[in-house]
Structure 1
Amino acid sequence: MSIYVIAYDVGTTGIKTCLFELSEKITLIGSSMAGYDLFIMDNGGVEQDPEQWWKAMCLTTSQVMEKTKVPKESIAGISFCAQMQALVLVDSAGMPVRRAMSYMDNRADEEMRKGIMTGPRISGLNAYKLFRSARISGAASASVKDPVWKYKWVERHEPEVFSRVYKWLDVKDFLVCRASGTFVMSRDSAFATLLCDTRKGNVRFSPELCKMFGVRMEHLPEICKSTDQVGTILPSAAGELGLMSGTPVFSGGGDASLIGVGAGAVSEGDTHIYMGTSGWVSTVVKKQKLDIRNMIGSIVGADPEHFNFFAELETAGKCLEWVKDHLALDEIGLFLEKRGIWDDPESIHESLYDYMMHCISDVPAGSGGVIFTPWLHGNRCPFENPNARGMFFNISLETGKTELIHSVIEGVCYHLRWQLEAVEKSFRTNPRIRLVGGGALAPITCQILADMLGREIETVENPQNIGAVGAAIAIAVGLGMISDIKDAKKIIPALRSFQPSAENRFAYDRGFPVFQSLYRNNRKAFSSLNQKKAADL
């Protein structure tokens, strides 16, 4: 028996809507994508308009249904995989009271300082609050980008807006609400607030943590599982989406949990690396651990029996987007005119990056000595510093654009190596690592990562859609087609593998300590040049 489901991959800059056929395997039938704005402000604020998310969801759903000709009556359910740790404040009708504050938002410097950086401290954080947070939630609000500080920022700076708040939601929970009228958060979204009691048998929002950080319990929604059906599509929403009223709506999960599921990395020790707009290294573990020194924690995933030991890089593929826009477009503009592909945004996107990868294919490991740091919007792990920035180091007269572009990929991979080594101080990882996200589409990126890590790198089919695959698996579990999340491993095999080159590894072993030193040696300069923006709140 096979069924059709729709899974939404809600990213930082756009949504991709995928229609899958579920049987003994997962088959992508059709997809569509649409973008939306990311508003970046001088004071460190980064916002998005939730109405743009919804309109993009409706547009792409209608397009997919039209392209595939699958009857809307055949859709067995919809689910979501989305960016996490945004702050979406809504009223009692489920409508946003202000624009959403993105996970990238770092303006709440003063709120964090007052909330957790006073009194006796460990690693710069209030010792008592750090201990209680770690004890109850398994983590702590140790980053200025954590949602509780955004919440406190709105309370302090926008009291009239704050007075209209009914619930605090995350990105996909807002879309669930908009489609079904249900105010819920999946367990992983609830954990991402860092206000959730994650101790076994006691999963709920913690009254103690909410009181300690000044969060109103009534603002927090009911907690559900990623695989739960939480409602059905409302008649009003069905009309906008072009789907049947009454179609089951499943909660789904955040990208940090469901991308690993879609990668097939679901057993203890399984490790996947994600290269999308952001990036991360994530390993499946059985227990929670908080490594405050390296800013790594065991986050709640879609499988209630496991956690994901998760190290995040703020800007990964975003660095290549920056390169495309600011270094390569003079050449690529000519390429686009010859190809005539302006009418298809996804084809433009893929062709641009294919062409860039082709142009740098002959650049040797080490990029002629040039090293790039991928901290274009600060960094979280293995150091937390919103003031850190990117740089090209060691440019010479012989350096050209191809070396610069090649060094950007290497810079992202250098940082992922730093994170993997930090992860392995706490947990053993499997020797094979799965790479997913748009970065996995380029063989050159896969090979550089294999060489950088000295590990075998595996990719899977449609790695750029892997979050949607994870959301589809959540539906399959919810409908009883498969027994639990761990069964994903059986139906998501590796498509290709890349073996490390010892010669290239030697070049990267030489460059790696230099890469690490660039943060330590420039930390004061980053603060001197960039601190003012955070101070001008």
Structure 2
Amino acid sequence: METYVIAYDVGTTGIKTCLFEISHTIKLIASSIEGYELHVVENGGVEQDPYDWWNAMCSTTKKVLQENNISPEVVQGISFCAQMQGLVLVDKKGEPIRRALSYMDNRAKREKKEGLGTGLQIAGLNVYKSLKSIMISGAVAASVKDPIWKYKWVQCNEPNNFEKTYKWLDVKEFLTCRATGEFVMTEDSAFATMLYDIRKGKQGFSKEICEMFGVNMEHLPKVVKSTDMVGRITKDAARELNLKEGTPVFGGGGDASLIGIGAGAVEENNTHIYLGTSGWVSTVVSKRILDLKHMIASIVGASHKTFNYFAELETAGKCLEWVKEHLALDEIDVYQEKKQINESKEEVYKSLYDYMMHAIKDVPAGSNGVIFTPWLHGNRCPFEDHNARGMFFNISLETGKTELIHSVIEGVCYHLRWQLEASEEKVKTSKVIRLVGGGALAPLTCQILSDVLNREIETVDSPQNIGAVGAVVVMAVGLNIIEEIKEAKKFIKVKERYIPNKNNTVIYDKYFKEFKSLYKNNKKSFNVLNN
């Protein structure tokens, strides 16, 4: 029998509400998307209004149901796939104390230095605190963007707000609280705080780590599994969402946990690459692994049996969005004029992104010598530097927009190769890699990635909705439709395959070496200009 559920994909710039049917497959029935603002403030701060997430969730839910004549009665459950490592401080009523601090927020430099940068050090980190944290949690809050330093930043800089705090939540946990009134946090979100004890038989927030970094354990919510039904929609929330009161709400997971599941990369050594606003390389592993040199760690996911060895790129698709707005957008007037003279370009190309892909399709591998670095908001892996920035390197008089746009895609792919190679120093990755996210919609991007990595690339249906598919899988377990997350593989089918073009790979091998040298050669300048 068919089961209908709603999965919310809560991204950096918008929420996508997806109605799915679960039977012998996972089928997307309808969806609606709504954007919201990202507030970039001084000193590296990046914030969002939690009510923007909730209001967008409510309006898109109504739209999906009403425009498709679907009764709220048929919806058997809701869950989330969301951006991670945000900081949402709420009071006892679940109301936000202040705007949420995004995972991109990097202003807590002093707090990180005071927390980990004193005493005997290795690689700029306090040896005792780092080793103790690694022993208990399997990781250490070595990045200025980790939530613990955001928490400490509020404590140090906004004491009045900190005094009002009842609980520390992440993005999806705030939405769960609004829907159910429950203060909970899934295991993957709890791990991402770097305060979670992952040792067998001791799972939960660690009193030792909290005391070491001065975190009030009363601020930490109850920890639940991704597949748990954590509550039911309240009367007030049901009215706002246009859903039935009492509808089950499942824990769900962060994007880093569920996108791999939605991709079907659920068995040990399965590797997937995500190309959305951010990007990453992730491989399923069976044990705790940490590489401080390259800032890669095995993180807790939605499955209890495995970890995800995870290397993150802060800005991936965001780089292409930047190109669209600052290099390509003025082309709109050109093809609007053509619309009046010839056939409408809008009938040929669904979006400006499609038009961009068409315009650069004949640019040769290597973009005629131009190399782009995708560090538009600093970088985490394989090097941690919030001062790093993007650049177009080796521009000549002959360089045009098409080469610049083409080089942006290549630059993102070069960085993903760097992360893949760093991952392989510790783990075995798969020969065939699943590519998901909005970037997987463009065949040109898929082929460039295949050529740069010299690996076969597979894509699946609706790769831009794959996080929501992962949320459906955990609901399917919670609803007893399937027994375990590993069974997701039978739902997820390959749509396209891309084989490396060896001639292009030879060029990319040469350019990749130069790409990696650009950070080393410009590190001091980045620090002078951006510190």
Gaps of 5+ in 1: 341-346, 532-537
What SS does the corresponding residue of 1:47 show, helix, strand or coil?
strand
1:159 is aligned to 159
Matches of residues 264-275 of structure 1 in structure 2 within 5 Å?
264-275=264-275
What SS does the corresponding residue of 1:415 show, helix, strand or coil?
helix
1:343 is aligned to none
Kept after mapping to 2: 8 A contact 1:332/1:355: no
1:524 partner amino acid:
K
Matches of residues 444-523 of structure 1 in structure 2 within 5 Å?
444-523=444-523
Q: Whole-Å Cα distance in 2 between the matches of residues 78 and 515 of structure 1? A: 43
The answer to whether the aligner puts 1:241 opposite 2:241 as a matched pair is yes
2:426 partner amino acid:
S
RMSD (CA atoms): 1.4
Matches of residues 23-422 of structure 1 in structure 2 within 5 Å?
23-335=23-335, 351-422=351-422
* Fraction of identical pairs, as percent: 67
Q: How many residues align?
A: 526
* Stretch moving more, 329-338 or 92-101: 329-338
1:4 partner amino acid:
Y
Kept after mapping to 1: 8 A contact 2:137/2:199: yes
Q: How much has 1:349 moved relative to structure 2?
A: 11
Q: How much has 1:330 moved relative to structure 2?
A: 1.2
What SS does the corresponding residue of 2:302 show, helix, strand or coil?
coil
Q: Whole-Å Cα distance in 2 between the matches of residues 234 and 350 of structure 1? A: 40
2:344 is aligned to none
Q: Deviations over 1:337-366 (max 9, x none)?
A: 8779xxxxxx99961111111110000100
Q: How much has 1:42 moved relative to structure 2?
A: 2.4
Q: Whole-Å Cα distance in 1 between the matches of residues 496 and 214 of structure 2? A: 49
Q: Whole-Å Cα distance in 2 between the matches of residues 355 and 485 of structure 1? A: 38
Describe the shift of the 1:240–1:280 C-alpha distance in structure 2 as closer, same or farther (beyond 3 A).
same
What SS does the corresponding residue of 1:249 show, helix, strand or coil?
strand
What SS does the corresponding residue of 2:212 show, helix, strand or coil?
helix
Q: How much has 1:71 moved relative to structure 2?
A: 1.0
Kept after mapping to 2: 8 A contact 1:91/1:166: yes
What SS does the corresponding residue of 2:8 show, helix, strand or coil?
strand
2:207 partner amino acid:
P
Q: Whole-Å Cα distance in 1 between the matches of residues 302 and 337 of structure 2? A: 45
Q: How much has 1:247 moved relative to structure 2?
A: 0.4
1:411 partner amino acid:
G
2:420 partner amino acid:
L
TM-score for the superposition, normalised by structure 2: 0.98
Q: Whole-Å Cα distance in 2 between the matches of residues 2 and 167 of structure 1? A: 38
Q: Whole-Å Cα distance in 1 between the matches of residues 334 and 263 of structure 2? A: 36
Q: Whole-Å Cα distance in 2 between the matches of residues 348 and 525 of structure 1? A: 44
What SS does the corresponding residue of 1:495 show, helix, strand or coil?
strand
What SS does the corresponding residue of 2:115 show, helix, strand or coil?
helix
Q: How much has 1:335 moved relative to structure 2?
A: 3.7
Q: How much has 1:332 moved relative to structure 2?
A: 2.8
* Stretch moving more, 66-75 or 25-34: 66-75
What SS does the corresponding residue of 1:310 show, helix, strand or coil?
strand
Q: Deviations over 1:68-123 (max 9, x none)?
A: 21211000000000000000000000010000000000000000000001111111
Kept after mapping to 1: 8 A contact 2:7/2:471: yes
Kept after mapping to 2: 8 A contact 1:17/1:32: yes
Kept after mapping to 2: 8 A contact 1:81/1:470: yes
Kept after mapping to 2: 8 A contact 1:253/1:302: yes
TM-score for the superposition, normalised by structure 1: 0.96
Describe the shift of the 1:336–1:119 C-alpha distance in structure 2 as closer, same or farther (beyond 3 A).
farther
1:2 is aligned to 2
Kept after mapping to 1: 8 A contact 2:349/2:355: no
1:237 partner amino acid:
A
Kept after mapping to 2: 8 A contact 1:30/1:67: no
Describe the shift of the 1:428–1:65 C-alpha distance in structure 2 as closer, same or farther (beyond 3 A).
same
Q: How much has 1:62 moved relative to structure 2?
A: 0.5
Describe the shift of the 1:2–1:247 C-alpha distance in structure 2 as closer, same or farther (beyond 3 A).
same
Q: Deviations over 1:488-520 (max 9, x none)?
A: 011101111000011000010010010000000
Q: Deviations over 1:26-67 (max 9, x none)?
A: 000000000001000121000000000000000100110012
What SS does the corresponding residue of 1:9 show, helix, strand or coil?
strand
Q: Whole-Å Cα distance in 2 between the matches of residues 469 and 290 of structure 1? A: 28
Describe the shift of the 1:192–1:338 C-alpha distance in structure 2 as closer, same or farther (beyond 3 A).
farther
Describe the shift of the 1:333–1:467 C-alpha distance in structure 2 as closer, same or farther (beyond 3 A).
farther
* Structure 1: 4+ residue segments shifted above 4 A: 336-340, 347-350
